[in-house]
Amino acid sequence: MTAVTASPQQAYPLDAYWRSMGYFNLYRLLIAGTFVGTYFFLHERIWWDNYDSVLYLQSALGYLGAGLVAITFTGLRWPRFNRQLTLQVITDIGFIVVLMYAAGGVKSGLGLLLVVAIAGASLISQGRLALFYAALASIALLLEQSYQLLTWNESYNDYTHAVMLSLSCFATAWLAHSFAKRTDRSEALASQRGIDLENMAQVNELITREMPDGVLVVDKDFNLRHHNSQVESLFGFATSTWHESSLDQCMPELATLMRRWIGEGGDIGPAAMKLSSGERELRLRFMPLGTDRKQGAVIFVEDWSRVQTQAQQLKLAALGRLTANIAHEIRNPLSAISHANQLLQEEDQPHPTAIRLLQIIADNVQRMDKMVKDVLELNRRDRTKQEFIALPDLLREFHDQFCQAEKVPDAGMVLDLSEYSHPVLFDRQHLYQILWNLCRNGWQHSQQQEGSLSLSLQAPKSGSTVCIEVTDNGPGVSAEARAHLFEPFFTTEAAGTGLGLYIARELAEANGASLECANTAVGGQFRINLKKAYS
């Protein structure tokens, strides 16, 4: 973004000066033509005393010729503006004074044209040399009056009329100078305001372009006046579609919400609504353009799903730090309790009631220790040691270890491996932990019979992903539980911690994979979608 600054040349363009001088030249031609016309139409009538018709005609024709010459030089813009204007004003004063003398002197009334000429020249020059022009006109008037008194037999012998006319020239010059200065300041202020508005428009455009949310301006006729690129990405429209279009054509649902917002009336403050666009859930905030909602609105479009994800991440990050600290603090007294419980169990011939109570203590210590381990796993997401893994070999090894450790019959867990040889890039320990968690949950909720648990590898020949499926023949996952399945501390078991599936998904995402719960007719099924490694 380039800021715009003001300069004298920008504040008062030179073209405007020359244009004003051109208009003044036209006025000069009009006056000179009027003088010539009055001679040919009224020369037989004697209107003034001491009227010199020959000098009058010669002066009028000379003034007309001077006007044509002035137009020519103004078109050529040579000589410089101030010099040319001064020469033209001197020419005006000279010819008008001569015409006034030929028409009978001050009493002819032609001296008033000097006031008009001085006023016009003062305005064109923005007040510069205004008093100089008035002084020239006054000197010419006084010389003309003195010459008349010396050569003519006038009925008055004072300078009253000439002096009053000279004072009028000075007053006009001063007023024109003051008016020009005020106009000068007004134009400078207007120019600066225009530059400020242009800079502000550039700043607003930069702000709206860099905003993470979409901004949409709609007028009272539901026409799109402005929008940023985020709006196009959120609604999935091209720039050409949005250009000077109607909101009803581009987004009928949004137009319906805006009409409902207008119809609500009441408070003119911002109002929030929600709208679904594709896979996104959008939050809309309507801000009226004026005091009435019918005048249009500025619509702020926010990706609500992204906001919720960010809020969830912040909440979970804070929760992870808190629980990790608590887990470390719990582990020390928990170890002490476990050690004391073991010492009590080693006593000779303990009472049966004491044996039962000590076993309860041991079971709950073991449960709490597992919970602490799961909590500490919350901070292991970013510590990955990825390596190239051959999935068929890893799954065979995992099958053997899992069945032996969890005391699952070999026939109870079916291993289905497709012909797949392409490796994946993953942390081996993380993949073991994810599979162990899924298979243990599947076996616990299954019927625990032959073939109750299935671990399969689905690897399509085309595509960049490979899928590991863990399926059981249990009751499946209810619709209510499915919505909260991967939330931390959500569990349907009394002895569960609610962290297993959450940690499994976090570890999968840390390795660039995804974990999802499939919607099946019978039983439950979880899928791990991994990306193929390209080395």
The domain limits of the chain are 8-190, 211-306, 308-380, 386-531
C-alpha distance from residue 504 to each of 80, 218, 252, 377, 445 (Å)? 84, 46, 42, 10, 18
At 502, the amino acid letter reads: Y
pLDDT band at 65 (very low <50, low <70, confident <90, very high): very high
Residues facing 166 on adjacent strands: none
**Closest residue by Cα to residue 248 from 222, 274, 226:** 222
At 258, the amino acid letter reads: M
Residue 271 has pLDDT above 60, yes or no: no
Q: Over pLDDT 90: what percentage of the chain? A: 19
Fold of 211-306: Beta-Lactamase (3.30.450)
3-state secondary structure of 203: helix
Place of tokens 């476990």: 338
Q: Mean pLDDT, to the nearest integer, of 500-511?
A: 84
Residues facing 455 on adjacent strands: 415, 470
**What is the number of H-type helices and E-type strands within the chain?**
17, 12
Residue 125 has pLDDT above 70, yes or no: yes
Segment among 363-367, 397-401, 525-529 with least mean pLDDT = 363-367
Whether 314 and 273 have beta carbons less than 8 Å apart is answered as no
Q: Mean pLDDT, to the nearest integer, of 387-398?
A: 89
Token duo for residue 155:
């009925």
Predicted local confidence at residue 25, as pLDDT: 93
Query: In angstroms, how far is the first alpha carbon of the chain from the final one?
Result: 44
C-alpha distance from residue 160 to each of 107, 146, 194 (Å)? 11, 12, 50
Residue 113 has pLDDT above 70, yes or no: yes
The top-scoring range by mean pLDDT among 208-212, 240-244, 424-428 is: 424-428
If you average pLDDT over every residue of the chain, what do you get?
81
- pLDDT tens digits for range 200-211: 888 887 887 778
Q: What's the CA gap between 349 and 344, in Å, rounded? A: 11
CATH class of 386-531: alpha beta
The answer to whether the 211-306 and 386-531 domains have the same CATH topology is no
- pLDDT tens digits for range 451-475: 889 999 887 766 778 899 999 998 8
pTM for this entry: 0.46
Fold of 308-380: Helix Hairpins (1.10.287)
Q: Over pLDDT 70: what percentage of the chain? A: 81
pLDDT band at 94 (very low <50, low <70, confident <90, very high): very high
Residue 95 has pLDDT above 80, yes or no: yes
H or E stretch covering 318: helix 304-345
List Cβ neighbours of 176 (8 Å cut-off, separation of 6 or more): 118, 119, 122, 123, 127, 130
pLDDT band at 11 (very low <50, low <70, confident <90, very high): very low
Strands 424-427 and 413-417: unpaired
The top-scoring range by mean pLDDT among 74-78, 147-151, 227-231, 414-418 is: 74-78
Radius of gyration for the alpha carbons in the chain, expressed in angstroms and rounded: 48
